[in-house]
Amino acid sequence: MTRFEDTHRIPLSVLDLAPISAGTDAATAIRRTVELARLAEELGYRRYWLAEHHFVAVASASTTTLIALVAAATDHIRVGSAAVQIGHHTAASVVEAFGTVDALHPGRLDLGLGRSGQRRTEALSALAAGRRVTEQRPEQWVDGLLIPEPFPIEGLLTSPRLQTMSRALEFEGARQPDFADAVDDVLALLHGGFHIDDVEVRTVPGEGADVDVWIFGSSKGQSAQVAGENGLPFVANYHVSPSTVLEAVEAYRAAFRPSEFLGQPYVVVSADVVVADDDSEARHLASTYGHWVYDIRSGHGASEYRDPATTPPLTEQERRVVDDRIRTQFVGAPGAVVQGLETLARVTGADELVVTSVTHDFDDRKRSHALLAEAWGLTPTA
């Protein structure tokens, strides 16, 4: 009996970025996403979520389209967005898209919403006014969980490439909606009661769709507040912003009000993992993760995922830029990763964990999820 078998097993889910490995293409990545979703269902994972990213070497830009493909290729696993960036879509277009998929796969969709567009606009305004965006505080360990020093995002926000990408996703002169208002609109469109200037607007398909709405956040800011005040489930991003995960969860719980959706807070926490038969192999497979994160943080965006067999190590300067993400990744043999995830769940009080595992070789990625599922004690489907 493993150590974890003596404790409460919370569910595990999968977050897929549909990464493009060096030497392959987007079509290959999409086929692999569908294959991995089928495997995740067989292994007993609860959900299969897909992230929205644009103009980089991942194939999940059209998230709802990919969700439809995954839902059609699976039978019962919940499928969803992690998360729709509401600043790039109207509430009506989001509800119509999810309502369309729900029509053929009812009761299986998780509509995750994020506020990255509005957050970026607010941060740029703060920089223009001479205010800092990143709150600096020292690294700490909380009951065995590393909470690193925050990564300063000021340089990334002013990246010319990032600003160009943002312009390409928005109409000239478009105004970012307030996130709280956008969430209210999504809920009203799904459940009825949406009006503009006293005119009722109804989405067809969309209204009445059996879709669960989730809020994704990486700080104690508006996302956590909106999730709590609306009584919605909340996803805290340890894998993206490990320095702020505890404050995000605390803010959500403090703001929570019981609703028709939830009687008490429900928290999912994300984690990056690479699992292999032994620690040494896992570290080798994960050795190009830092290169991937460095490309993102240097303003170039996610690149094709490099082959660890042919990629030189990061320089000392590059390593400093991504140190927080490397050290908060859970890498090792199954028992070591289970222990790390158990610590993450305990310290955050998570009701569920969602894991993302990226390796250059797809077989290694599938094996990572399979080894973790077995070690965690998931029940395979028949």
Chain segment 339-365, per-residue pLDDT in tens: 999 999 999 999 999 999 999 999 999
State yes or no: pLDDT of 1 exceeds 50: no
Pull the structure tokens for residue 46.
């609860």
State yes or no: pLDDT of 204 exceeds 60: yes
pLDDT score recorded for residue 38:
98
pLDDT score recorded for residue 382:
63
State yes or no: pLDDT of 133 exceeds 90: no
pLDDT score recorded for residue 87:
84
The Cα–Cα gap between 84 and 101 comes to 15
pTM of the full structure:
0.93
Instruction: Report the mean per-residue pLDDT for the chain.
Output: 91
Q: What is the DSSP letter of 349?
A: T
Q: What is the DSSP letter of 199?
A: E
Strands of the chain, DSSP E: 12-16, 47-50, 78-81, 84-85, 109-114, 140-142, 145-147, 195-196, 199-200, 211-217, 234-236, 267-275, 330-332, 352-356
pLDDT score recorded for residue 131:
64
Chain segment 134-150, per-residue pLDDT in tens: 677 899 999 999 999 99
State yes or no: pLDDT of 154 exceeds 70: no
Return the sign of the alpha-carbon dihedral for residues 109, 214, 365, 373.
negative
Residue 52: half-sphere exposure toward Cβ, Cα within 13 Å: 25
With cut-offs at 50, 70 and 90, classify the pLDDT of residue 3.
very low
Q: What are the structural domains, with CATH classification, of the chain?
A: 11-273+343-376 (3.20.20.30)
